[in-house]
Chains A and B, each alone.
Chain A
């Protein structure tokens, strides 16, 4: 039984680490601020939550698991709030989003 839990936990942690690095890479690669928000949105609740779920499998049925679950729910609630506040503040500040009006998709990324 512990072997199954170990394998499941390993899979979750590996997937979480993968998505975390992909999200950080996206934050570095994306051309403007609003698109970077999307990359942060894949890293923030998604990759980090997967790592925490992996840790839950490792902890077993203890208080630590409940704390990890609470941490996941907390991240799920707070991360959209800060992302929305960021986007709204940038929009009100007058930062124009980079838009692709039915042009070729390639020239958006080259305008960095």
Chain B
């Protein structure tokens, strides 16, 4: 029987999101009558490449590093209340993630949980590196002759729906479109057909609104005096209520901070959208150009008016390549004449870097706020430190040769004994860069497979 309302909550909007955010979402979902789902979106463009590198070092790793932190507090309640979990935390190793979940569920005495894995996003199993390079890039950098670390297609919602239909309690994906985490459960519950563009568009829009977690409930939004948000420290993560006709209400977990308003929903609706009439996904081309939002109660916003067009013949894929090194180094000057000393430091650094005769790009910043002159608890009033300033000099550079980048950072370090008066607080980073590019691949070349463990 088709349910009247499906409830879908979001527990994470990126790989480093609040570890305890899902708890109030799950507690709220347990009170709902009807199918209930919890999603975690934990895979940004570069996250998968980092995961791939981890997997190369240890074949048991390469899934979301926070998987256990996210799941352990809520898994038993979800299992007991029939809340199904869908996430892309499989990253480069969905099988490893599923094994880990199985281990955690055994420890928590959650019996008979069925864990499904969606495979097929990894294009290194489909194409040679040269074949991948031959695809033109649509976003990001050109794919040069650097080693390809990862290449993954964005899978759609159909395999997720199928895994749920086959009885999965938890669905682990590697790379899929973020809205598919929501659309998959909706297809499973409502049986929306592959050419039901209108409903698929509504479901995709619901996914788009949920996929970044608290960004639709007051986070990445608060601007004191203009856009005030109550209790941002305990911001509630979103829950969408979706009906068979595709109508969507966005709300949030009970007894939490944050706010769901027309404004928060509008901002998230347009987040990372280019042409609002043509948002390409694997399942549908979403048109939000005629969408309207309406506050129907406190923290409840109805969103309607999405339209859909047939999905494209291609799937988007992200290719990650080695990108050399990035160095960053910083030093602080504070107190009387601090800005002059910070400028002198920049002058010294520029001359020293000229001597290195490198053509690597180098950037010089002076960051100005209060830091080293305040205690561990921070200042009582950030405005009271404005007289002399507190300036942080920053240098950043990039290039293939790690030694040169290290040497540029070292020029900052040397300012301790060879630079202006009273410079302190040196920090440096040297980061192994991963570059990404987006390509379009023929969707017929990408075969998905569902496995249960």
Partners in one complex: no
